[in-house]
Amino acid sequence: MSGRPSASRRAILRGAALTPAVALGLTACGPIGGGVTTPATPTAPVDLGAESEVPKGGAKLYRDHNVVVSRDADGTLKAYSTICTHAQCPINKLQGTKLICPCHGSEFDATTGEVVRSPASAPLPELPVRAEGGRLVAGPGA
Ligand code: FES
């Protein structure tokens, strides 16, 4: 055996030298500088659409705005954020009046915001909501 590096050792060294370039390449394709948007509920009143879309005793999920609106038997409207209180995933499924988080399976009552299945433990934050001219408006200041 000589004291010179073997071909395989040189190959390993060369590979190690390339590693930072590979890492840079991956980083350049990653979500740098705000490439990932954090889901959010409205920060101002938003028009959700026709009031008639939320039936008495039912609920409607507005995925684009991360809001759920329910109406009780008396016609009273309630709105809640649909950003899960467990790890902030946007909730994307409504079955009847049950909201189901896709990330870890937490479930919430869309009429009260309360947790009905863990791992979430905190209720969904309530949002102001009102009907105006046949339209639903929800969000702070509504
Ligand atoms: S983020 Fe919704 S259950 Fe974990």
Distance from the alpha carbon of residue 116 to the mean position of ligand 1, in angstroms:
13
pLDDT, tens digit, 9 for 90 and up, residues 95-137: 999 999 999 999 999 999 999 999 999 999 999 999 999 999 9
Q: How confident is the model at residue 27 (pLDDT cuts 50, 70, 90)?
A: very low
69: its two tokens:
């609106």
Distance from the alpha carbon of residue 48 to the mean position of ligand 1, in angstroms:
24
Alpha-carbon distance 28 to 3, whole Å? 40
Specify the pairing of strand 107-109 against strand 98-100: antiparallel
Q: Please give the model's pTM, rounded to 2 decimal places.
A: 0.74
Of the two residues 90 and 140, the one the predictor is more confident about is: 90
**How many other C-beta atoms lie within 10 A of the C-beta of residue 32?**
9
105-137 burial, b at 16+ Cβ within 10 Å, e below that, comes to ebbbbbbebebeeeebeeebeebebebeeeebb
Local structure of 130: helix, strand or coil: strand
Alpha-carbon distance 47 to 102, whole Å? 26
**Is there an atom of ligand 1 within 6 Å of 9 CB?**
no
Q: How far is CA 79 from the centre of its chain?
A: 16
Are 128 and 41 in contact, with CB atoms under 8 Å apart? no
Of the two residues 11 and 99, the one the predictor is more confident about is: 99
Local structure of 91: helix, strand or coil: coil
**Is there an atom of ligand 1 within 6 Å of 92 CB?**
no
Mean pLDDT on 73-92: 97
Exposed, middle or buried by CB within 10 Å (0-12, 13-18, 19+), for 9? exposed
**Is there an atom of ligand 1 within 6 Å of 120 CB?**
yes
**Is there an atom of ligand 1 within 6 Å of 103 CB?**
yes
H/E segment holding residue 12 = helix 7-29
pLDDT, tens digit, 9 for 90 and up, residues 36-55: 566 788 899 999 999 999 99
Domains (range + CATH), the chain: 46-138 (2.102.10.10)
